[in-house]
Amino acid sequence: MALRVLAAMSGGVDSAVAAARIAEAGHDVTGVHLALSSNPQSYRTGARGCCTIEDSRDARRAADVIGIPFYIWDMAERFHRDVVEDFVSEYAAGRTPNPCLRCNEKIKFEAVLDRALALGFDAVATGHHARLVDGVLSRSVDPAKDQSYVLGVLTREQLSHAIFPLGDSTKAQVREEAARRGLTVADKPDSHDICFIADGNTRAFLADRLGASEGPIVDALSGEVVGTHAGAYGYTVGQRKGLHIDRPAPDGRPRYVLSVEPVSNTVTVGPRTALEVTSIVATRPIWNGPSGEPREQIACTVQLRAHGEVYGCRAQLSGDDLHIELDAPATGVAAGQGAVLYDGDTVIGSATIAAAS
Amino acid sequence: MGTAYLDHAATTPMLPEAVEAMTAQLGQVGNASSLHAAGRRTRRVVEESRETIACAVGARPSEVVFTSGGTEADNLAIKGLFWARKRRRILISAVEHHAGLDPAQWLADRQGATVELLEVDAYGRVHPETLRAAIARDPDDVALVSVMWANNEVGTIQPVQVLAAIAHDHGIPFHTDAVQALGQLPVSFAESGVDAMTISGHKVGGPMGVGALLLARGVDPEPVLHGGGQERDVRSGTLDAPAIAGFAAAVETAVKHRHATAERLSVLRDDLIDRVRQAVPDVILNGDPVDRLPGNAHFSFPGCEGDALLMLLDAKGVECSTGSACSAGVAQPSHVLLAMGQDGARARGSLRFSLGHTSTEADVDRLAEVIGNVVERARRAGLT
């Protein structure tokens, strides 16, 4: 049955090929570019990521080549409120948010999906590299490009209206297909970093919005103040570079950020071994996989950040908290990041990391 | 599936007379500035076209300056007169097309101009007292006044003749953008008393990429384009003889049939308004209910987003416009509706339907058939 599909088109190669594939499959496809800034220049002037005027033109040109109608939807207010402001306030609270995850959850598969459904569409398609079979999400066949992690926050209801046409292809195959289809974005560079931070300097972006606020950097072993920082929000658990510690540590080893404490504006550092955690508590659980909620402990794997390592673990839901016991210690586990649980390649659920020890 | 094209104010199909006149020239060689036979032949085409247009719009041939279209003509009038007059104040209506507002704003940003927007009433009309009061604040420093003949979005007709007379009381040149008016309203350059008037080819059934600025004798803007000195040094550039021939044929035909076309379109337009009201009882008609372009119907649909309406209508084969300008593709609430005192939500929920020479009852039927469901659906989406 032909579906009415809204294809979100960023202006990049992935979403262009995704739209082309579903149109070719006989669905009634409409391309929509999401304008995430009411003044595109204010976010990005180069061609490094999304949100430029060139990107919206690239998307429109791709839609013309595919032969589908194309519109621009202004999502700037929602994006600013639900993604950018959330990003800033999460950092201010000492956590490390993943804005891409948040954008999928709140913009693409909430604001856009809700509007699309109200307007008579059946589904939203994107160029994410992930597979979706019968509403069950799993990893792309291209492990280097897999984006199932940033989609792991979607509910079953959201996934039931999603289409990811690229999950069975590698990035190289997608580019080759784009060239074959005459899409000029075939060799357009991949986007990186955070799309709304023009120069990639997250600390400066946060400093502009949160202001400088000097505080101590404390060594966890000695309890001594070993340096000062201009704002605890600029640090992330596991971070090693840019600490500007002005004396060597007592054990002579490099120092890593162990914790960020916004109330006392303190950054605590310590040796790498002190970063190791095996026990994680995560909140806001989403159970979107094929199995029910794990009220009993289950054995599975967990990914703790985008493109991060995968750990064997035991997971159990008690109340609204997900308790994860890792089989081997992990480092750099930051509050605010998503913990996505997998059974093999299949996503079974996710939650937001609140604490680790 | 056929479509109902209800966006003639954006562009209207070329008239057969214009296609014929233009294509007859496309295979010919000759630069109207050349001295040899081919040049003379081409010059004759251009000059006859100039005479045809002048005659149709109540001007002298020497008053016609060909341009690449309405935008260039507006730029030439506003920038050119500002530079020539060496005075700071530009008085321009708040509901002008961006081709008028943006050059004025650019002059303010870069060249020391002071732009003063003339307020409009709830129908989008500039009142004579508004202009009188604005001039009186410092009459000697006014470079020019610019008020369009009829508004491209809501269709309201401006009292151009009265406004021009007020400007003339102070010796101030008056420009009007008559792009939408020509072919729909009786337009006479001489009788209106304006000093400069913009017209465009593709809005009257001619080709795109050609237009003209009518300039009364003694009105000498500084040029925007410098080069070969064509068009009495006001607008350099090789004249596009085929486009000019098509433009002239379109103006002549459109003006000749104007009365009958306007009568027919206003009946059709009133029918369109009635039937949209029947389908959507709370719809609001924008612009002057009487003194408006005969082919224009502009509505606000409470609780809807204009771009959602447009998309849903497009899917049903009805082509219209939100009428608002796009900045980087993101629809902004129309400055025209905001100037008329509407709030942002109402301005964003607006659509323009514009009829032209090929419009039929079937187009209106098509719209009437789908508009009720489309509005209902857009309302649901608007509330999410």
SS3 readout for chain B: CCCEECECCCCCCCCHHHHHHHHHHHCCCCCCCCCCHHHHHHHHHHHHHHHHHHHHHCCCHHHEEEECCHHHHHHHHHHHHHHHHCCCEEEEECCCCHHHHHHHHHHHHHCCCEEEEECCCCCCCCCHHHHHHHHHCCHHHEEEEECCCECCCCCEECCHHHHHHHHHHCCCCEEEECCCCECCECCCHHHHCCCEEEEECCCCCCCCCCEEEEECCCCCCCCCCCCCCCCCCCCCCCCCHHHHHHHHHHHHHHHHCHHHHHHHHHHHHHHHHHHHHHHCCCCEECCCCCCECCCEEEEECCCCCHHHHHHHHHHCCEECECCCCEECCEECCCHHHHHCCCCHHHHHCEEEEECCCCCCHHHHHHHHHHHHHHHHHHHHHHCC
Is A290 within the bounds of a domain?
yes
Residues of chain A with C-beta less than 8 angstroms from the C-beta of B308 = 115, 119
Please check whether residues A126 and A79 belong to one and the same domain: yes
Residue A41 has pLDDT above 60, yes or no: no
Which domains, ranges and CATH numbers included, belong to chain B? 4-12+258-382 (3.90.1150.10), 16-256 (3.40.640.10)
Residue-averaged pLDDT of chain A:
91
pTM for the complete prediction?
0.89
Residue B161 has pLDDT above 90, yes or no: yes
- Is B308 an 8 Å CB contact of chain A? yes
- Residue A29: enclosing H or E segment and its boundaries? strand A28-35
Please check whether residues A68 and A166 belong to one and the same domain: yes
Q: How far is CA B321 from CA A8, A18, B354, in A?
A: 23, 29, 9
Higher pLDDT among residues B125 and B322, named by residue = B125
Sorted by sequence, the CB contacts under 8 Å of residue B305 that are 6+ apart come out as B348, B349, B378, B381, B382
Nearest CB among A35, A114, A119 relative to B329 is that of A35
Is A200 within the bounds of a domain?
no
Residue A305 has pLDDT above 80, yes or no: yes
Say what the pLDDT of residue A199 is.
Answer: 79
pLDDT, tens digit, 9 for 90 and up, residues B77-115: 999 999 999 999 999 999 999 999 999 999 999 999 999
Alpha-carbon gap: B310 to the closest alpha carbon of chain A (Å): 10
- Is A250 an 8 Å CB contact of chain B? no
Report yes or no: A356 and A335 within 8 Å, Cβ to Cβ.
Answer: yes
A43 confidence band (pLDDT: 50, 70, 90): very low
- Residue A203: enclosing H or E segment and its boundaries? helix A202-210
> What percentage of residues in chain A have a pLDDT greater than 70?
96
Please give the torsion angle defined by the CA atoms of residues A334, A340, A341 and A346, in that order, rounded to the nearest 10 degrees: -150
CATH number at residue A295: 2.40.30.10
Alpha-carbon gap: B378 to the closest alpha carbon of chain A (Å): 6
d(CA A302, CA A312): 6
Residue A241 has pLDDT above 90, yes or no: no
> What percentage of residues in chain B have a pLDDT greater than 90?
94
Please check whether residues A254 and A309 belong to one and the same domain: no
Say what the pLDDT of residue B242 is.
Answer: 98
Residue A83: domain span? 4-187
Check residue B143 and give left, alpha or beta (phi > 0: left; psi -120 to 50: alpha). Answer: alpha
Please check whether residues A86 and A172 belong to one and the same domain: yes
Say what the pLDDT of residue B279 is.
Answer: 98
Is A193 within the bounds of a domain?
no
The pair of structure tokens assigned to A17 is 């090929």
- Is A40 an 8 Å CB contact of chain B? yes
Please check whether residues A241 and A111 belong to one and the same domain: no
Please check whether residues A252 and A113 belong to one and the same domain: no
- Average pLDDT on A195-210 reads 87
- Is A45 an 8 Å CB contact of chain B? no
Residue-averaged pLDDT of chain B:
96
Question: Which of A51, A100, A103, A300 is flagged as catalytic?
Answer: A103
Sorted by sequence, the CB contacts under 8 Å of residue A333 that are 6+ apart come out as A237, A238, A277, A280, A304, A353, A356
CB contact under 8 A, A71 and B384: no
Please check whether residues A299 and A340 belong to one and the same domain: yes
Is A194 within the bounds of a domain?
no
Say what the pLDDT of residue B131 is.
Answer: 98
Residues of chain A with C-beta less than 8 angstroms from the C-beta of B315 = 30, 69
Say what the pLDDT of residue A48 is.
Answer: 42
- Average pLDDT on B177-185 reads 98
- Is A38 an 8 Å CB contact of chain B? yes
Say what the pLDDT of residue A53 is.
Answer: 80
Domain ends where: A274, A294, A328?
A274
- Average pLDDT on B272-281 reads 98
Residue A330 has pLDDT above 90, yes or no: yes
CB contact under 8 A, A74 and B328: no
Name the most confidently modeled range: A40-49, A68-77, B16-25: B16-25
Burial class (CB in 10 A: 0-12, 13-18, 19+), A226: buried
Give A274's DSSP letter: G
Please list, residue by residue across B359-372, b when 16 or more beta carbons sit within 10 angstroms of its beta carbon and e when fewer do: beeebbebbbebbe
Say what the pLDDT of residue A45 is.
Answer: 43
CB contact under 8 A, B308 and A115: yes
- Average pLDDT on B152-177 reads 98
Higher pLDDT among residues A329 and A212, named by residue = A329
Residue A44 has pLDDT above 80, yes or no: no
Say what the pLDDT of residue A194 is.
Answer: 85
pLDDT, tens digit, 9 for 90 and up, residues B356-367: 999 999 999 999
Please give the torsion angle defined by the CA atoms of residues B376, B377, B379 and B384, in that order, rounded to the nearest 10 degrees: 150
Interface of B with A in 319-378 (CB under 8 A): 328-331, 377-378
Say what the pLDDT of residue B353 is.
Answer: 98
Is A136 within the bounds of a domain?
yes
Cα–Cα nearest to A330, from A353, A357, A355:
A357
- Average pLDDT on A22-43 reads 83
Residue B281 has pLDDT above 70, yes or no: yes
Cα angle B280-B4-B314, degrees, rounded to a multiple of 5: 70
d(CA B134, CA B124): 17
Is A130 within the bounds of a domain?
yes
Residue B355 has pLDDT above 60, yes or no: yes
- Average pLDDT on A318-331 reads 95
Is A74 within the bounds of a domain?
yes
Report yes or no: B144 and B78 within 8 Å, Cβ to Cβ.
Answer: yes
Please check whether residues A265 and A288 belong to one and the same domain: no
Say what the pLDDT of residue A248 is.
Answer: 73
Sorted by sequence, the CB contacts under 8 Å of residue B377 that are 6+ apart come out as A118, A119, A120, B308, B312
Of A90-94, A278-282, B71-75, B118-122, least confident by mean pLDDT is A90-94
- Is B381 an 8 Å CB contact of chain A? yes
Sorted by sequence, the CB contacts under 8 Å of residue A330 that are 6+ apart come out as A276, A277, A278, A304, A309, A311, A356
Of A240-249, B152-161, B243-252, B286-295, least confident by mean pLDDT is A240-249
CATH number at residue A12: 3.40.50.620
Domain ends where: A274, A305, A328?
A274
> What percentage of residues in chain A have a pLDDT greater than 90?
73
Q: Is A300 a catalytic residue?
A: no
Please check whether residues A166 and A285 belong to one and the same domain: no
Residue B321 has pLDDT above 50, yes or no: yes
- Is B257 an 8 Å CB contact of chain A? no
Please check whether residues A255 and A152 belong to one and the same domain: no
Catalytic positions of B are 326
d(CA B210, CA A216): 68
Is A167 within the bounds of a domain?
yes
Say what the pLDDT of residue B86 is.
Answer: 95
Domain ends where: A237, A257, A274?
A274
Say what the pLDDT of residue B383 is.
Answer: 58
Say what the pLDDT of residue A25 is.
Answer: 97
Q: What is the ipTM for the molecules in this complex?
A: 0.86
pLDDT, tens digit, 9 for 90 and up, residues B33-49: 999 999 999 999 999 99
Cα A347 to its chain centre, rounded Å, is 15
pLDDT, tens digit, 9 for 90 and up, residues A244-299: 787 777 778 889 999 999 989 999 999 988 899 999 999 999 999 998 899 999 99
> What percentage of residues in chain B have a pLDDT greater than 70?
97
A52 confidence band (pLDDT: 50, 70, 90): confident
Alpha-carbon gap: A87 to the closest alpha carbon of chain B (Å): 23
Say what the pLDDT of residue A49 is.
Answer: 45
Please check whether residues A54 and A108 belong to one and the same domain: yes
The pair of structure tokens assigned to A182 is 């005459």
User: For A228, phi and psi rounded to 5 degrees?
Assistant: -125, 155
Domain tally, chain A: 3
d(CA A140, CA A347): 11
- Average pLDDT on A324-333 reads 95
Please check whether residues A217 and A155 belong to one and the same domain: no
CATH number at residue A227: 2.30.30
Strands of the sheet with A256-261, listed across from one edge? A225-229, A215-219, A266-270, A256-261
User: For A136, phi and psi rounded to 5 degrees?
Assistant: -105, 130
